Amino acid sequence: MQLASRTQTITPFYVIQVLKQVEALERQGRDVIRLFVGEPDFESPSAIVKTAQHSLQHEAQTYTSSTGIAALKQKIAERYQRWHQLDINPERIIVTPGGSAALQVAFLATLNPGDEVLLPEPGYPCNGNLLAMVNAVGVPVFLDPNHKMALSMENLAAAVSKRSKGLLIASPSNPLGSVMSLQQWQRVADFCKARGIHLFADEIYHGLTFGGLAPSVLQVDDQAWVIQSFSKFYGMTGWRLGWLVAPDSAVDACERIAQNLYLSSPTIAQRAALAGFEEGVEQQCFARRDELQQRRDYLVEVLPTLGLEVMANPDGAFYLYVDISRYSQDSVAFCADVLTETGVAMTPGIDFGGPCPRTSVRIAYTVDVERLKVAVDRLKTYLTLTHATDNR
């Protein structure tokens, strides 16, 4: 019995293959430093956990509205006012089971079979696969490796066709850590409006930026689609909770899609997330951001001394995108060998597409500085011994 043809175009998430390799080594008793998964070593804030425990003990865990608990939607709207001075109608907020579900709702609401969405690369690998699941097509737009992975408006324009229906941009970016300025968002918004295409903004790493809060696309385009998540800033990866800010005209359609796609988001996660907006919890999350900045600063200083150049301006998230061309033209083989020989796990650039996937790797600084120093020492020894000729 044949499977659907879309299954032939959905590519594997290579980081999961790295995870399997890591777990196999750990079962052998190896000490592996995990610098490959997008999940820092912070537990969910205790106030969030305690709120969940209280809810389990004292509240019925019944279905909620398909768009989310009203109190949670209100808190999200208030954060847009507090962080960006934006008045967002809570009715435009659709609470979803994670950021991926938010993107899925947005795609289902806007795209027909054969429609195209422009995807700057390197980028999050699941985006193209989510498009395939709605029978749409992701069109890669390569970022410029010679200019800190800048997005060229000329390249964007060249990628547009009569089937173009959207542009998806992440800020802060995975895997680059780069952040869109307000002026850059304005140029992109003008580009989309001039062509009548949807602007999708992946803002799931908001709050985790090192030069102040990142601008939201909603500051320049009130009708853009915003994908958000509780996973990163609030440390709630396993709770599976996110949200979508939809244009006014699309709210009804998104609600109907949500009703049929997943009925409602996890009740316990929604109630727990309410605690995330408490002042003390938010301060705790910003303190964690400051620790991430210390990790970034250490790596940005030391990696170039090993011949590993950082390819973008990593002003947010917790990733560095690193050029390994001095040592290898095969990022998959390079990462596999480094993992086997040193116990340092990184993600090969092949997972993220773009102009140089085989000569780049993503490093996630998801362990503390002392642990990062151990990783750097291991990498230094490996590169010196294995690539002595290249290091002369």
Could you tell me if residue 270 is inside a domain?
A: yes
pLDDT tens by residue, 195-220: 999 999 999 999 999 999 999 999 99
pLDDT category at 386 given cuts 50, 70, 90 is confident
Q: Are residues 308 and 246 in the same domain?
A: no
Q: Is 264 helix (H, G, I), strand (E, B) or coil?
A: coil
Output the pLDDT for position 388. 59
Q: Does 144 share its domain with 234?
A: yes
- Same domain assignment for residues 39 and 52: no
**Is the model's pLDDT at 355 over the cut of 90?**
yes
Model pLDDT for residues 112-132, shown as the tens digit of each residue: 999 999 999 999 999 999 999
Asked whether residue 184 is assigned to any structural domain, the reply reads yes
**Do 304 and 251 fall into the same domain?**
no
Same domain? 323 vs 253: no
Question: What CATH number corresponds to the domain at position 254?
Answer: 3.40.640.10
For tokens 């030069």, name the residue: 211
> Does residue 103 sit in the same domain as residue 160?
yes
Give the position of tokens 């003990």: 57
Under a CB-based contact definition with an 8 Å cutoff, are residues 210 and 296 in contact? yes
pTM of the full structure = 0.95
Whether residues 219 and 268 fall in one domain: yes
Angle, vertex CA 172, rays to CA 324 and CA 106, nearest 5:
120
- Residue at 392 is within a domain: no
Residue type, 109: A
Q: Decide if 241 is inside a domain.
A: yes
Mean pLDDT of the region 165-190: 98
Residue that terminates a domain, selected from 225, 255, 277: 277
- What number of other Cβ atoms are within 10 A of residue 122's Cβ? 29
- Domain total in the chain: 2
> Does one domain contain both 244 and 329?
no
First-to-last C-alpha distance (Å) of the chain: 57
Q: Confidence band (pLDDT; 50, 70, 90) for 392?
A: very low
Q: Could you tell me if residue 84 is inside a domain? A: yes
Pick the last residue of a domain from 226, 260, 277: 277
Residues 98 and 191 in one domain: yes
385 contact partners, CB below 8 Å, separation of at least 6 = none
Domain's final residue, options 277, 296, 312 = 277
Does residue 247 sit in the same domain as residue 193?
yes
Task: Supply the range of the domain harboring residue 343.
Answer: 5-43+281-386
What CATH number has the domain bearing residue 293? 3.90.1150.10
Q: Give residue-wise pLDDT tens across range 275-311.
A: 999 999 999 999 999 999 999 999 999 999 999 999 9
Q: Are strands 347-348 and 344-345 parallel, antiparallel or unpaired?
A: unpaired
Nearest to 208 by CA among 376, 82, 50, 38: 38
